[in-house]
Each structure stands twice: as structure tokens, then as C-alpha cells.
Structure 1
């Protein structure tokens, strides 16, 4: 089984609770609105990192980040964007999972055979939404998602 940690919308705040929740993952995905570049360096100490640029990632270093990314995990294709409005239509061939942040609202739903996952925001709390991260577990063709509300 491959464990992929999901984090988004840190907005410069990388909480110790988020780091603890991501420990032991085989890889990480950050779905944008990062904050300073140093935050990515800290995540890379945990596992290899795939990252996309969010609408608030405007610093010079962030302009080189892609708006979307595709990765294959045990033959399962994952599409990563910051905002679901940026998901390519049609989806790239073989995509089974879409990871997007932006709304700060954690959630997971399957539509048309595709799993749509928002890990929520691991950064500053917005409104009354929980502070959260997620985990994508892939084993062969089986894909599971678990969302973790962080005690902050």
C-alpha cells in the first residue's frame, strides 16, 4: 500500500499537528496556497512532494510552480489542481482521483468513477471550518481516502 499525504491552503502556517499527521507517508501532495517557499522545504523532509500553485502563490519563486500536476501511484492516476474550476475538461486519460484545495472545506465524493478529494485547509482557520489534512491510500486498483481533523 502506498500512502500519499494531502495538504492544502497552509497560507504560511505549517502546524506541528499537520506535520505529525503526514509522518510515515510515502509521498505528499500540496494543493496550493502555500506561503513562503521554506514551507515546502520542511514538507520535503517527510517525503517526496508534488505541489501546484494556488491563487495566493504570487511570489517570484512560486511563479515557476505548475497550475496542475499528474502523478501515477501504483497505476492510479491522480490529477492535482488548486481550485476545482481548474480541472481540465475532459479529465486527462486514466484519471481516477482529483485532489483540489481552495475552498478550505474538507470533503470526498465519487462522481463518474472519479474520486474528488479536498483535504481542507491545514493553515489559518477560516470561518468555522475544521483545520485538516488528508491521506490517500492506494493498493493496486483500490483507493481509499481518510480526512483528518487536526486538534488546534
Structure 2
């Protein structure tokens, strides 16, 4: 009788972007229980990061509206490995390398447009959780969850306000 090799449990990564200095209680509740949180920029105030860091470890990139001394140390690009998946985080999709597969990127997380989207291109999962901050135009207020199990990644984006 052989025993199966234990697999780590699926990782649950919270995705948030474009908070623009607004930490909604709905966003905090949505992200509760995540193993980690990715903020894809346009934070606008360090207090936003302080609130999110109380929930889970943070990976953060600087957005075009993140200015001032508090934001100077924030990177414009970040990568992290979760189980067997490498995630690239940038604020603006225009800053993604032409072929992220060359860098073994499996997931790209962006913000900037305030438009939630999930798509797959050439085996790379692209996720924009939309904006969790002030409503812009008629776009939804949203955030997302990235679930990683081994080498498999799945994403969903959900509205935060009904």
C-alpha cells in the first residue's frame, strides 16, 4: 500500500485595485480569510495598506495616482510564487512584457482601467479585479479571488456592492 503525497491546500489570494483612498467594509469582509492579498495600485494612502495588512500578507505595486513619500518605495512591478504558479503584478496592463510566458508567468494581475476582467491568452491568466474604491462611471465596485492549487490557477471577480 502506498500513501499519496500530500498536496498543500488550495491558496486563496485576494485581488484588489484602485481603492483610491477608500477602504470599504465590504472589501475587508470579502478579503477576510485570504492567505494573501494583492493590491494592483492606485492605493492613494498608506492607511489602505495598513487596513489590508491586518487581514493577510500583502503584495503591492504603485499606481499612477500613488505619489508622495509614502509611495516612493512601492515597486511598479512585483512577482510572487504561490505553489507552482508565478504571478506578475503591475498597475497598467501596458506595462506587461510582450510575452509573459518567457518569464514563466502563469498569472498577470493588473488594475488601472477600473474594469473587472478575466481572460486567458496563450496559457497566461490575466485578471483585473476592477475598482474597490469610489465608483467611476457605471463600472461596478469589485474585487477578486485567485485560487491556486499546484500549477492550476482560477480567478473570479465579484461585485462588492449590490
Q: TM-score range by the shorter chain?
A: over 0.9
Shift of 1:89: 3.1
- Quote the residue 2:113 is aligned against: 103
Q: How far apart, in 2, do the equivalents of 1:39 and 1:151 lie?
A: 19
Normalised to the residue count of structure 1, the TM-score between the two structures is: 0.97
1:112 aligns with 2:136: no
- Quote the residue 1:140 is aligned against: 150
Root-mean-square deviation (CA, aligned residues, Å) is: 1.0
- Quote the residue 1:9 is aligned against: 18
Shift of 1:63: 1.4
Unaligned runs of 5+ in 2: 1-9
**Which has the higher Rg, Structure 1 or Structure 2?**
2
1:50 aligns with 2:59: yes
Unaligned runs of 5+ in 1: none
Structure 1: 4+ residue segments shifted above 6 A: none
Normalised to the residue count of structure 2, the TM-score between the two structures is: 0.91
Q: How far apart, in 1, do the equivalents of 2:74 and 2:24 lie?
A: 23
- Quote the residue 2:139 is aligned against: 129
1:68 aligns with 2:88: no
Using the TM superposition, name which of 55-64 and 100-109 deviates more. Answer: 55-64
SS at match of 1:85: helix
